[in-house]
Structure 1
């Protein structure tokens, strides 16, 4: 029903993914490199979102605006249908992105010098955001077994007791693609409450979960929710990052008011009118599109697993439970990250993310974005194989 096969030209469109390769990777001739790094998709905007945006643009007037009740109802309905979670409309606050939401929560409820806990490996802004706000970042490593991650609850609880003000939780996990179990999510939420730790739950990848796995929202299973701030957005699901649309779910009235005050003091303006328009359209009409997207992502994933694993002995491509990001284990090749990245960029002309970007726990891994037409995936796989041949010479 929807088009996930057309290869769209994104070069020279001011795309960070496609046009900043020279700056990001310190290379020349970035136009020769295929980017499969940053987490945005190369699929076109869903047609129902495009139609909603065009209609809004044709109105011709773009004064100050706010997300109206129809936007809020769309969010409420999406969470109820997609995640079996009922929320009150009053619990929603709107922001420009999940990372700005995370920063806002840290500014509102922690102080400079406070200790903020994160788990590694993890999306880099989990470390950089609190660090940039002069909070002390404390990291505990997830338990890794052949690339699969779990949480050592004894170590986690011990860490929580070391004067921690907030824990930033990546659910589902980026870069590992893990869907945390209902039992794990509940235990994490309850331990944070028990030890007086604010739980900031980043659930931006919640919609991108492969069957038979299901996403569990922290606030849906916790015995108490007043310590939980959930950060979500349609931007990963529907490729809307450039429209800057996100929201926080906050059940505690006092915390919500404090967040509003902090946002006002920092001159935050919330969502744009087009971000709100896109969010409403995506959540109202997006379920069939997401279902087809997940089918395409699974086909892409299976292709990469089959061909990289067979062509490069020692490479392990883990099948993710969620996200369109593959966490590739190349430790058996016995090459350094520097040599691997050099081969990929200069021999294969392929840009992937080095694992140590996600913390020292990521050494020996690469992150690959496969949210693109299968023809592009095939091109990326061939480039990877070509690069690997130069490592064994």
Structure 2
């Protein structure tokens, strides 16, 4: 039996997914398939490394050792064929913190920051909270697949955008951008002198027949104009350890970003974040391969179930991530009515598409990184809510 079939009780562990659902959705006894974390234990190597550190028993000030950077370097070469240098790495407690720090570093208040909706909610939040101006170049859904409207994208860049937030792979749809698409993005951003901030937190969970390409790896010129964000949090279910890495080849840009972190009083990441990140990247590959196989099975089961029981819902085929982006527009329900049906009839908590900006209306996001039995429970509740 797969290790991912194990049912783990996450109550009384301060789990956002399982213990804040009532606070966020306003109802008791909801089945949580909303926030993007997994209900799986990380690789044994990670648990073992953390336990060894616990047994040592002293938790004083800690720095990130060179061995961590070497583990990240080796991982990126093997998994993504991207050769970086350890000197390009900085660290943050999370990708969202890094997004905010990059906006503060490379733009001024009032500057235009470009994104492509529907997209990860904190993109909007970090631009707005830092008093910058959101410029949106919406993605286009064509035959069940999101495409970039490059005419619209270039027009947005012509408005004077200083920074472009790229979500690669794309959250919420799971789209894995092709090399040609990324090169076109890079060409236009270089032409209009727009820095690229590439959130690649989902880049390790890629389904077979697809390949993630770090945009910074595609040319020497691009590598100097891209800030790449990665973390073990989605890949290995380590979000609670608060550890991410920022990859900046350009020494001037890296120094500027580091100065922002210093102004914020940031010194280092959590001791267990350092240990967990290094252990995951050094010894977690076999576990990850098994995970991807399990998620593939969950994805196929969900697609089959929806075709049989809820054919009005069009599920966008994810090429990466453990998220399903459900197109519910054929049901003819408004977003509030859709939400109410899920909460009151199905007792199911999913992410409403409206959270992801223009183009998210009529959609839902479902997290399938759970034991198959839990997935079945969620699908049954979805059917009860919408059938």
Q: TM-score, normalised by structure 1?
A: 0.96
Q: What is the CA–CA distance in structure 1 between the aligned matches of 2:76 and 2:259, rounded to whole Å? A: 26
Q: What is the CA–CA distance in structure 2 between the aligned matches of 1:208 and 1:253, rounded to whole Å? A: 30
Superposed CA deviations along residues 3-41 of structure 1, whole A, max 9, x for unmatched, are 1010111122211111111221122x2xx1110000000
The answer to whether structure 1 residue 278 and structure 2 residue 279 are counterparts is: no
1:331 alignment counterpart: 329
**Aligned-partner SS, 1:85:** coil
**Structure 1 vs Structure 2 CA RMSD:** 1.1
2:80 alignment counterpart: 83
**Aligned-partner SS, 1:174:** coil
1:173 alignment counterpart: 170
Q: What is the CA–CA distance in structure 1 between the aligned matches of 2:136 and 2:196, rounded to whole Å? A: 15
Contact kept in structure 2, 1:2 and 1:289, CA below 8 Å? no
2:288 alignment counterpart: 290
Range with bigger deviation, 87-96 or 184-193: 184-193
Of 298, 314, 317, 1:316 maps to 314
**Aligned-partner SS, 1:94:** strand
The answer to whether structure 1 residue 12 and structure 2 residue 9 are counterparts is: no
2:122 alignment counterpart: 125
Q: What is the CA–CA distance in structure 2 between the aligned matches of 1:269 and 1:300, rounded to whole Å? A: 40
Gaps of 5+ in 1: none
Contact kept in structure 2, 1:119 and 1:139, CA below 8 Å? yes
Q: What is the CA–CA distance in structure 1 between the aligned matches of 2:131 and 2:268, rounded to whole Å? A: 24
1:252 alignment counterpart: 250
Contact kept in structure 1, 2:173 and 2:324, CA below 8 Å? yes
Superposed CA deviations along residues 334-374 of structure 1, whole A, max 9, x for unmatched, are 11111111111111111001111101201111000000000
Contact kept in structure 2, 1:165 and 1:198, CA below 8 Å? yes
Gaps of 5+ in 2: none
1:376 alignment counterpart: 374
Contact kept in structure 2, 1:309 and 1:317, CA below 8 Å? no
**Aligned-partner SS, 1:376:** helix
Q: What is the CA–CA distance in structure 2 between the aligned matches of 1:336 and 1:278, rounded to whole Å? A: 43
1:96 alignment counterpart: 93
Q: What is the CA–CA distance in structure 1 between the aligned matches of 2:138 and 2:220, rounded to whole Å? A: 26
Superposed CA deviations along residues 196-229 of structure 1, whole A, max 9, x for unmatched, are 1010000000000101000000111034122110
2:259 alignment counterpart: 261
1:163 is displaced (CA, Å) by: 1.1
The answer to whether structure 1 residue 385 and structure 2 residue 383 are counterparts is: yes
Contact kept in structure 1, 2:62 and 2:268, CA below 8 Å? no
Range with bigger deviation, 189-198 or 278-287: 189-198
Superposed CA deviations along residues 151-191 of structure 1, whole A, max 9, x for unmatched, are 01121111111011100000000001100001111221222
Q: What is the CA–CA distance in structure 1 between the aligned matches of 2:226 and 2:311, rounded to whole Å? A: 44
Q: What is the CA–CA distance in structure 1 between the aligned matches of 2:194 and 2:33, rounded to whole Å? A: 36
Q: What is the CA–CA distance in structure 2 between the aligned matches of 1:222 and 1:153, rounded to whole Å? A: 20
Contact kept in structure 1, 2:206 and 2:321, CA below 8 Å? yes
Contact kept in structure 2, 1:316 and 1:329, CA below 8 Å? yes
Q: What is the CA–CA distance in structure 2 between the aligned matches of 1:347 and 1:152, rounded to whole Å? A: 38
Contact kept in structure 1, 2:114 and 2:134, CA below 8 Å? yes
Moved beyond 4 Å, runs of 4+: none
1:2 is displaced (CA, Å) by: 6.1
Q: What is the CA–CA distance in structure 2 between the aligned matches of 1:249 and 1:187, rounded to whole Å? A: 21
Q: What is the CA–CA distance in structure 2 between the aligned matches of 1:48 and 1:217, rounded to whole Å? A: 27
The answer to whether structure 1 residue 46 and structure 2 residue 29 are counterparts is: no
Q: What is the CA–CA distance in structure 1 between the aligned matches of 2:314 and 2:111, rounded to whole Å? A: 39
Q: What is the CA–CA distance in structure 2 between the aligned matches of 1:289 and 1:164, rounded to whole Å? A: 41
Q: What is the CA–CA distance in structure 2 between the aligned matches of 1:144 and 1:75, rounded to whole Å? A: 35
2:149 alignment counterpart: 152
Q: What is the CA–CA distance in structure 2 between the aligned matches of 1:317 and 1:343, rounded to whole Å? A: 19
Q: TM-score, normalised by structure 2?
A: 0.98
**Aligned-partner SS, 1:362:** coil
Q: What is the CA–CA distance in structure 2 between the aligned matches of 1:236 and 1:207, rounded to whole Å? A: 8
